[in-house]
Structure 1
């Protein structure tokens, strides 16, 4: 049998780009919506969402390889590496700490080119020394024996795949890295749509199988890296979770691609589907976090310590839910209380609307109540009349028609004048490469946001009670829409600026929590990242330190300012006191 790397045209994979165009475009739209959803969350909820997604990915990418890790050990490590917990608080389990380090490092270096050093570093994170066998760490394999993927008992082995000899690995990997960087979406000379590039990169890397161990986890890390570069943002899709759910099909398609020719269409058809389903899993995860946040916002102050402990235990199960529902017996076990106390607590939760009940007698089960925005999707002046008062959440026969009509007018005005999807300037700029047009659209989004908050402030708390609406959920929906539009516009702006300057444009939105703005100064561009106590100004093209300083003289920040410039620029730090002495304001 011949293997794919023995083909005379290896590694020139062939694929029909048009065949995947609509699916690739939908993946990009869904990615923008996910980014907008996360950016619309509060800082704490954002951090929790990122941590939960990375924890799930770390556990699943290990599970695919047959390693089962403790969730809390992985969580503590990821929080420590992200800076959400003190340094040194990561797990003592080297496997949990190692895969956590990989997840965070891929996120940290998403915008960097691949190098041999980076890949070897990733491999050393997830491969640990064993008692009986210690695989080579941090370097390509060098043994003379064939690298084979084998299953079956001794004497009955089945060879599923044989990789190139170790002597060929350095040259194969050098070609792979060169191709990968040349096809990067930001500055590559031969750009390939993100999901297709990720799928080809994953198959090609796995077929080379450059390491003694850890190839699967590093290969999936490369997919995350490629998708992040395509999205201009650390990838949020739960790729390993999606693969783990279809593990058998994943290995079958990967094996088939290694035995056939260089036509990659069948493999890409499966892989693009995996990416799409991964986004759906992430969407469910984000919605779960939003639902949990709303639940605690509504009920936290109403619940006693035992009830909060039980609720926390249920939420800890994540999107899969609390298996079998909550029973009186389970409540007693979780809270260590007696039957009478459990009965009273559960009855109290029912009366407060914090749980719902199904079944009777021994079949009684309790589920946490869903606290969702009652704001109807896509409401506008036209369909509000079609839905009628009851379906729009209005309280008929309680308020006068004039009061209801007045409130309808206010809410409709917010929809009609602050929805990016209804704004011609924004929608045209989303399809444009004209810098002035894109900048005008970004300014338009800012004006819309100001108008939205002004209109929202005009609605008194008593008026919100006329309709069954949560004004925070109402604002959340607006923030998600504008966040997604802003991300797409800035993406267009980065591309347009790079084309105008005929030079690389570096996008600096790799932080977990950030708010960013593109700033133009004397025909040069900066990307500002604002955090709670600092602002980082990253040059999008080669800007001199004097020019950066000129811009910083116009802004006020928190405790300090640090400026990172592309290339060999030096870091500049100034205490807040000096900024105040300059009379800056913002």
Structure 2
């Protein structure tokens, strides 16, 4: 469908969320409760552990926002760059390519500069950072400026000759007015609910689609900026891009639905708020696992264990509750610890005797789990203790 509602985004009452304010408030309350739990849990996390959590979340979100656009990055390079930026971790991974560093620059600026006004120059800089050589794949594109070509900007999918046009953005000649309206609105949202503002900002920006390429990544960086206004760097833990990647088809469908018809974006806002709620609940699980790990090592800091045993324990802890599929067996220990079967069996028994691991099953089905409540399956009352198997 062509863009047939000129200057619709300048309407004085846009966005129209009055069609069903009760549903908006209900969805917002659910998302806010989940967000509050995240912030409450974070208050229990020490500074160093919080930085590690931020590094993990930022890495996953950077990978996700790129993957939504079909880009595949090297996680080790992304993580290494983020560790250097935050001053945590080993910081010894491979160097990231310039375009990857550019994406991380944008995400960093969005969060660290969340209190600064949004400007056209800032948006131009973000887009230029994504395409440092001026190319998108094999195609030369305009960087550091809004698109200015005469042909329509269309969002399409499908093979060549069978393309489906999902949406046609406003013509380039209209962009100065459209983007001025957007930037003015964006900078006037102080005091409005950040979650609703983030939802509206994203759909509005994606509807204008002001750049030749990079609109999706920049639009998701705007979400990061709005959330960071309230939460600061801790907002990274919500990982909205990762959630949007997990719900990629629905994400595209909801954007497309919002870009057609009227200016009522209630359906989009409701959907977005639900994704924030889910993301916050996932963040809470991650934070709880980090707290469990910290408490675990605090309780066992004087345990007489070897570096190899500590390494295996950390593998289990990093996987989270029930995250290490099938538990730790002698065979897995042998592989992870690069040791013999006999040594693996003996060291697992030592860890059990010291109270670091709990045993489940018997014989060749024997498995070990972290000795924390909720981190292992319920014991089989009929099982009998035997030597651990493979």
TM-score bucket (shorter structure): 0.7 to 0.9
**RCO greater where, 1 or 2, for CA within 8 Å and sep 6 or more?**
2
Supply the distance in 2 between the matched residues of 1:156 and 1:228 (Cα, whole angstroms).
41
Contact 2:7/2:178 (<8 A) preserved: no
**1:78-89 equivalences in 2 (<5 Å):** 78-84=82-88
Give the superposition deviation at 1:9: 6.8
| Cα offset, 1:159, TM superposition | 0.9
Shift of 1:322: 2.4
Q: What is the aligned partner in structure 2 of residue 24 from structure 1?
A: 28
Give the structure 1 partner of residue 250 of structure 2.
249
Pairwise CA RMSD: 2.8
C-alpha displacement of 1:228? 2.6
Question: How far is 1:5 from its partner?
Answer: 4.6
| Displacement after TM superposition at 1:178 (Å) | 0.3
Aligned match of 1:347: 349
Taking the TM superposition and a 5 Å limit, the aligned residue runs for 1:367-406 are 367-370=369-372
Is the counterpart of residue 126 in structure 1 residue 127 in structure 2?
no
Return the offset for 1:103: 2.5
Counterpart of 2:79 in structure 1 is 75
Q: How far 1:22 sits from its partner (Å)?
A: 3.6
Shift of 1:222: 0.7
SS at match of 1:367: strand
Offset at 1:87?
9.5
Asked if the contact 1:77–1:96 (Cα under 8 Å) also holds between the matched residues in 2, the reply is no
1:332 is aligned, of 331, 334, 340, to 334
Larger Rg: 1
> Which residues in structure 2 correspond to 1:442-461 (within 5 Å)?
none
- Aligned partners of 1:52, 1:319: CA distance in 2, in Å? 17
How many residues align? The count is 366
Q: Residue deviations 1:198-237, cap 9 Å, x none?
A: 1111100001111222211111111121223245775242
> Equivalent residues in 2 for 1:130-279 (5 A)?
130=135, 132-185=138-191, 192-231=192-231, 235=235, 236-279=237-280
Counterpart-to-counterpart distance in 2, 1:97 and 1:151: 28
Change (3 A) 1:323 1:301: same
Contact 1:55 1:75 in 2 (8 A): yes
Distance 1:330 1:95 in 2: 38
Question: Structure 1 residues 137 and 334, CA, compared in 2 at 3 Å: closer, same or farther?
Answer: farther
Pick from 300, 306, 309 the counterpart of residue 307 of structure 1.
309
Distance in 1 of aligned mates of 2:83 and 2:313: 23
Q: For residues 537-575 of structure 1, what are the alpha-carbon distances to aligned partners after superposition, in whole Å with 9 as ceiling and x for unaligned? A: xxxxxxxxxxxxxxxxxxxxxxxxxxxxxxxxxxxxxxx
User: Which residue of structure 2 lines up, in the alignment, with residue 570 of structure 1?
Assistant: none
Contact persistence 1:136–1:212 (CA under 8 A): yes
- 1:55–1:71 Cα contact (<8 Å) kept: yes
- Cα distance in 2 for partners of 1:149, 1:203 equals 14
Question: CA offsets, 1:337-385, max 9 Å, x none?
Answer: 111111111222222222233333443333223269xxxxxxxxxxxxx
Q: Matches of residues 510-549 of structure 1 in structure 2 within 5 Å?
A: none
What is the alpha-carbon distance in structure 2 between the residues aligned to residue 133 and residue 222 of structure 1?
A: 26
Provide the secondary structure at the position in 2 that maps to 1:353. Answer: coil
The TM-score, its normalising length taken from structure 1, stands at: 0.57
Deviation (angstroms), 1:241:
2.0
Q: 1:93: Cα distance to partner?
A: 3.0
Unpaired runs of at least 5, structure 2: 375-390
Whether the 8 Å contact between 1:151 and 1:159 is mirrored in structure 2 is yes
Q: Provide the secondary structure at the position in 1 that maps to 2:272.
A: helix
Matches within 5 A, 1:406-555: none
How big is the shift at 1:311? Answer: 2.5
TM-score with structure 2 setting the length: 0.84
